Amino acid sequence: REEKQLELTLEALISQVADLKNSLVSFIYKLENEYDRLTWPSVLDSFALLSGQLNTLNKVLKHEKTPLLRNQVIIPLVLSPDRDEEIMRQTEGRVPVFSHEVVPDHLRTKPDPEVEEQEKQLITDAARISPDAAQKQIQSLNKMCSNLLEKISKEERESESAGLRQNKQTFNPADTNALVAAVAFGKGLSNRRPPGSGASVQSGQPGAGAIIAGASGIQQVPMTGAPAQQQPMLAGVQMTPAGQPGK
């Protein structure tokens, strides 16, 4: 009965491993040959398929009717350095010979002693932590991850804002060109002058009294060294004689 149960378990495991192997081969083929048109949803579907198959394999191993495979010992009956076609067929060409060189690797049922020792140490350390301490460590780790994600998001937002500010135009090229043309070449400026701007005001010309009378509230400062009596007053404004420079 135990042998029959072991045989059924091995058949189920071989079937599950074959399905998992086919899914891996298909996924690797997509990555190597269809990477240019591969989409992210397709990758997620492949991962979901592999995850489901691994869970099914674990359920088979943890089933109550599954015997403990670690208690089973595999002993090679024949070791030969010659090429074995049956081994080639069963391993799909991966193992051509079944010799003393490949047996320790292919019939290994336990990990390396160093790996096994590290695994035991990790299990021991995990058992020493109380549930409350483990929960606090989980909360602390989640908080650190949240802060890190927030900083990364903030940096991304600031980088995008800086890029938008650099690309945003802050001036009007047409106005700039018009201003440069007006300053350099006088383009667009009017040639008209206000009336009376080009005529010099003299005291003897008619109308000068009216212009000067309008400036009765302005007083000219006399030049240093010039006698005050030589500067005639006209309508309350001191006029500079012809031979002296004005203020």
Q: What is the pLDDT of residues 167-182, one digit of tens each?
A: 666 677 888 888 888 8
Select the more confidently predicted residue: 18 or 105: 18
- Long-range contacts (CB closer than 8 Å, 24 or more residues apart) made by 40-45: none
Provide the pLDDT for residue 168: 66
Q: Report the chain's mean pLDDT, rounded to a whole number.
A: 77
Lowest mean pLDDT among 35-39, 109-113, 162-166: 162-166
For the chain, the first-to-last Cα distance in angstroms comes to 129
> What residue has token string 């269809």?
34
Spatial CB neighbours of 86, under 8 Å, sequence gap ≥ 6: none
CA distance 101 to 111: 17
Provide the pLDDT for residue 47: 92
Shortest CA distance to 81 belongs to which of 93, 98, 102, 95? Answer: 98
| pLDDT level of residue 223 (50, 70, 90 thresholds) | very low
Provide the pLDDT for residue 197: 53
Residues 209-222, mean pLDDT to the nearest whole number: 43
- Helix (H) or strand (E) run with residue 82 in it: strand 80-83
| pLDDT level of residue 245 (50, 70, 90 thresholds) | low
Phi, psi at 216, each rounded to 5°: -65, -20
Residue 57 carries which side chain, given as an amino acid letter?
L
Q: What percent of the chain has pLDDT over 70?
A: 74
User: Which DSSP letter does residue 98 get?
Assistant: E
Residues 148-177, mean pLDDT to the nearest whole number: 81
Provide the pLDDT for residue 103: 87
Spatial CB neighbours of 2, under 8 Å, sequence gap ≥ 6: 67
Is the pLDDT assigned to residue 207 strictly greater than 50? no
Provide the pLDDT for residue 218: 42
Shortest CA distance to 245 belongs to which of 223, 225, 213, 230? Answer: 223
Provide the pLDDT for residue 234: 42
CA distances from 179 to 132, 150, 168, 174, 235 (A): 74, 47, 21, 9, 44
pLDDT digits (tens, 9 = 90+) for 20-72: 999 999 999 988 888 888 888 889 999 999 999 999 998 888 888 888 887 77
H helices present in 91-216, as ranges: 103-106, 113-128, 131-167, 173-185, 208-213
| pLDDT level of residue 231 (50, 70, 90 thresholds) | very low
User: Which DSSP letter does residue 97 get?
Assistant: E
Provide the pLDDT for residue 54: 93
Is the pLDDT assigned to residue 134 strictly greater than 80? yes
Sign of CA dihedral 190, 191, 193, 198: positive
Spatial CB neighbours of 187, under 8 Å, sequence gap ≥ 6: 178, 181
